[in-house]
């Protein structure tokens, strides 16, 4: 275990003015608090925070961060309190230690929910001070280095969490070296067979190509020297997990990979980067499509380099990254390279104005990596469930990006595979919610189109547009999915509440009472409800029967309520709807109305006599009165709802219906059938062909028509065709 003086020596090498009193006090306090606690491998527990502090000295961090590393487990695993740490070390250090403390008492059944809640707390703490992130990643890195000592059943979940959250988080913040080590350690546990196989292949190739790597390094260095370019050339081999991910992503074998080896060319200035690129491309032919300029267009985590791939000596493909020394430090340390604290000891100390109280300042405050974190924190305030938040955060952690532009030239960075919907929500939530279409590079495209680097995207909007629930499966970013899900919930709640209000108005009217929302508010406690809107929505979804609401508001009308359904159905199950027209709920067939559905196996159209069936959790389903499906509800009269059409005669609103026909099997039959439907101004929403015999096929067609007369015209037109043997409407 590292001794006290050894830790101080590591710190004073890069910060001679270190506060030794603070560091000594933190060392002694943490060692005393952890006392005789042991780790899984039998070492004193204090060895863990000590190693975390040592990892952070490699990043050349300030005294306060090192002290927090020593103290980070004291509140969580000892009897230390936040107040005690504030008193001894100051509120700044106390706040950081508390930000690293897991929430112990979570009254949650789901482990996933508990994981999400702790992640929420961590991200909120990181957003307040980046040092929380640096300590947390160092903590996870040391835990992964010693994971072999954990019980076998705990290793895989910890490694999976590292791959899904902490390694991508390190990458998101630009800490590429730490990300690669976390991935490698986790991959070895999650998939040991693949890790072993790839590692052996890499070792073999490395031994075989050792001379080739030296040859390329020497050749490049000599050519740069000839042109007067001062450069360091560093050869490197990709790690096993990076190889594995590429094999999975591109569906290629190990033998098909062409860029297992890469080189970093580190120069003094940005002009030198482009000069070095010219030397490389004039020496060896470049591989088309493998050039990326992240200097002119940096990644969101502030990463800047030029990437190119050439066909080098012995016809080997060689990947090169060209960057300045400052860019190289950012690529290695990421957000830690911008940690410009009051001590001025960060890796880039003096490169920007600022200092401050230990939080990000100067250039660091504008770090592009923090843009992602701000977006994630915005999602925290939107009230998503813990599971949704965890899902969205994982989605946001993906590194692969495409860069697109608004018509005004604003750059929008998105995960690879993103769609115009993701683009719209990335610009602004209101733009996403009002989207009705998109143009990419001036051409109209479906909202499912995958965007490519350099695309100019124009979003077409409409007032009053509501996001469709199906959009959630089109979008891939957490922000878009969260906004769509939230808007769908709000719209559904509003529609169910409207339906519930109508149901209650009719129910109260049938017993001679007037419905009053104010009266209902005073009776919510009898229904175990707290919010009026939620109560109305629950009635609309069928979760609270209208009879229960009547009993809650007017207990004295209990008997009348009990008999109301039977009196309402006095004409029998096949109620014509004429005697109850005034009290019936109007059906307008709104396209986005999720509270009202139509019979799934046949639909319903204006002109049909209809009845509504309440389904708990789903709302009301509209059936034609002749539908055979109504038989199964004969004994559930409380689910029957009086409904009536309220559609203008000149309305072009369409409604679902189903047609079954038997047609001759010959070329052109289907074309004739669809032509008849199109000519009649009807729309086909689904078509299924069931081949019964060699000469004839049964075809089921779901159509959208304006009313019963329109449907009759379509069927008559089909029957008039020579290829159609029979055609009739299906009532599900």
Locate CATH 3.30.70.260 in the chain: 655-730
4-187 carries CATH number 1.10.3210.10: yes
Residues 6+ apart with CB under 8 A from 20: 8, 12
Neighbours of 385 (CB within 10 A): 12
Locate CATH 1.10.3210.10 in the chain: 4-187
Which of 377, 449, 371, 370 is CA-nearest to residue 411?
371
> What fold characterizes domain 196-338?
Beta Polymerase; domain 2 (3.30.460)
Can you tell me the distance from the alpha carbon of 333 to that of 155, in angstroms, rounded to the nearest whole number? 27
Q: 298 near 368, Cβ under 8 Å?
A: yes
**Among 19, 43, 77, 86, the one annotated catalytic:** 77
Residue-level pLDDT at 594: 59
Locate CATH 3.30.460.10 in the chain: 196-338
**Among 19, 20, 43, 76, the one annotated catalytic:** 76
Which tens digits make up the pLDDT trace of 470-525? 888 888 887 888 888 888 778 778 878 888 888 888 788 878 888 888 888 888 88
- Helix 176-190, helix 325-333: angle, nearest 10: 40
- 76 part of the active site: yes
The two tokens of residue 622 are 């509209």
The DSSP output letter for 451 is P
- 164 part of the active site: no
Alpha helices in 397-531 (DSSP H): 420-427, 429-433, 478-510, 517-522
Which tens digits make up the pLDDT trace of 36-81? 898 888 889 999 999 999 999 988 888 899 999 999 999 988 999 9
Which of 578, 571, 579, 574 is CA-nearest to residue 626?
574
Q: Which residues of the chain have pLDDT under 50?
A: 103-110, 340-366, 381, 383, 399, 559-580, 590-593
Q: Give the CATH superfamily of 655-730.
A: ACT domain (3.30.70.260)
Residue-level pLDDT at 345: 45
Share the mean pLDDT of the chain.
Answer: 80
pTM for this entry: 0.58
Unique residue bearing structure tokens 């001590």:
343
Residue-level pLDDT at 49: 93
Question: Residue 24 burial by CB count (10 A; 0-12/13-18/19+): exposed, middle or buried?
Answer: middle
Long-range CB contacts (within 8 A, 24+) of 513-520: 513/550, 513/554, 513/557, 519/553, 520/549, 520/552, 520/553
Residue-level pLDDT at 348: 37
Can you tell me the distance from the alpha carbon of 64 to that of 49, in angstroms, rounded to the nearest whole number? 14
Question: Residue 498 burial by CB count (10 A; 0-12/13-18/19+): exposed, middle or buried?
Answer: middle
Q: 109 near 19, Cβ under 8 Å?
A: no
Residue-level pLDDT at 529: 79
């Amino acid at each position: 275990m590292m001794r006290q003086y050894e830790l101080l020596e590591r710190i004073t090498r890069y910060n001679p003015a270190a506060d030794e009193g603070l560091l000594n006090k933190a060392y002694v306090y943490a060692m005393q608090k952890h006392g005789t606690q042991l780790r899984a491998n039998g070492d004193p527990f204090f060895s863990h925070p000590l190693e975390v502090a040592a990892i952070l000295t490699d990043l050349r961090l300030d005294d306060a961060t090192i002290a927090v590393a020593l103290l980070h487990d004291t509140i969580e695993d000892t009897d230390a309190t936040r107040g005690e740490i504030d008193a001894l070390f100051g509120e700044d250090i106390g706040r950081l230690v508390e930000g690293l403390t897991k929430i112990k008492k979570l009254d949650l059944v789901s482990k996933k929910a508990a994981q999400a809640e702790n992640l929420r707390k961590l991200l909120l703490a990181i957003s307040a001070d980046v040092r929380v992130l640096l300590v947390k990643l160092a903590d996870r890195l040391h835990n992964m280095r010693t994971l072999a000592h954990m019980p076998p059943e705990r290793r895989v979940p910890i490694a999976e969490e590292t791959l899904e959250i902490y390694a991508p988080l390190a990458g998101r913040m630009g800490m590429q070296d730490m990300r690669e080590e976390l991935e490698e350690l986790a991959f070895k546990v999650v998939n040991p067979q693949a890790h072993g196989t790839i590692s052996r292949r890499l070792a073999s190739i490395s031994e075989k190509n050792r001379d080739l790597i030296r040859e390329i390094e020497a050749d490049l260095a000599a050519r740069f020297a000839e042109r007067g370019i001062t450069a360091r050339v560093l050869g490197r081999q990709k790690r096993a997990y990076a190889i594995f991910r590429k094999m999975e992503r591109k569906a290629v074998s190990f033998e098909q990979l062409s860029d297992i080896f890469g080189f970093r060319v580190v120069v003094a200035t940005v002009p030198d980067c482009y000069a070095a690129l010219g030397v490389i491309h004039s020496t060896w032919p470049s591989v088309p499509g493998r050039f990326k300029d992240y200097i002119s267009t940096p990644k969101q985590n502030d990463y800047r380099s030029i990437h190119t791939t050439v066909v080098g000596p012995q016809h080997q493909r060689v990947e090169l990254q060209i960057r300045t020394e400052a860019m190289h430090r950012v690529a290695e340390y990421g957000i830690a390279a911008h940690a410009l604290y009051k001590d001025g000891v960060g890796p880039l100390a003096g490169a920007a104005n600022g200092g401050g109280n230990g939080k990000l300042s100067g250039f660091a405050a504008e770090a592009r990596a923090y843009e992602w974190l701000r977006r994630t924190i915005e999602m925290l305030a939107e009230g998503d469930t813990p599971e949704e938040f965890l899902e969205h955060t994982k989605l946001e952690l993906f590194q692969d990006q495409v860069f697109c532009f608004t018509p005004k030239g604003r750059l929008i960075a998105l995960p690879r595979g993103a769609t115009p919907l993701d683009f719209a929500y990335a610009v602004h939530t209101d733009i996403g919610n009002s989207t009705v279409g998109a143009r990419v590079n001036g051409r109209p495209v479906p909202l499912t189109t995958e965007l490519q680097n350099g695309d100019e995207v124009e979003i077409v909007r409409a007032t009053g547009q509501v996001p469709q629930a199906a959009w959630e499966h089109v979008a891939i970013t957490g922000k878009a999915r969260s906004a769509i899900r939230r808007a769908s919930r709000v719209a559904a709640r509003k529609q169910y509440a409207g339906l519930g209000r109508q149901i209650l108005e009719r129910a109260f009217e049938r017993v001679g009472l007037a419905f009053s929302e104010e009266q209902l508010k005073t009776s919510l406690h009898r229904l175990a409800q707290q919010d009026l809107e939620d109560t109305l929505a629950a009635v609309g979804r069928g979760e609270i029967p209208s009879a229960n609401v009547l009993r809650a508001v007017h207990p004295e009308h209990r008997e009348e309520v009990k008999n109301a359904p039977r009196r309402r159905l006095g004409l029998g199950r096949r109620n014509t709807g004429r005697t109850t027209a005034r009290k019936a709920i109007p059906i307008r067939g709104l396209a986005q109305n999720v509270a009202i559905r139509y019979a799934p196996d046949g639909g319903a159209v204006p002109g049909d006599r209809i009845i509504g069936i309440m389904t708990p959790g789903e709302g009301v389903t509209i059936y034609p009165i002749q539908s055979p499906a109504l038989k199964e509800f004969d004994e559930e009269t409380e689910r029957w709802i009086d409904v009536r059409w309220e559609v203008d005669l000149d309305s072009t609103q369409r409604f679902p219906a189903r047609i079954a026909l038997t047609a001759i099997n010959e070329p052109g039959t289907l074309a004739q059938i669809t032509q008849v439907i199109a000519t009649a101004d009807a729309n086909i929403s689904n078509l299924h062909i069931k081949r019964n015999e060699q000469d004839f096929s049964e075809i089921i067609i779901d159509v959208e028509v304006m009313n019963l007369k329109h449907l009759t015209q379509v069927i008559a037109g089909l029957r008039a065709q020579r290829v159609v043997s029979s055609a009739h409407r299906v009532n599900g």
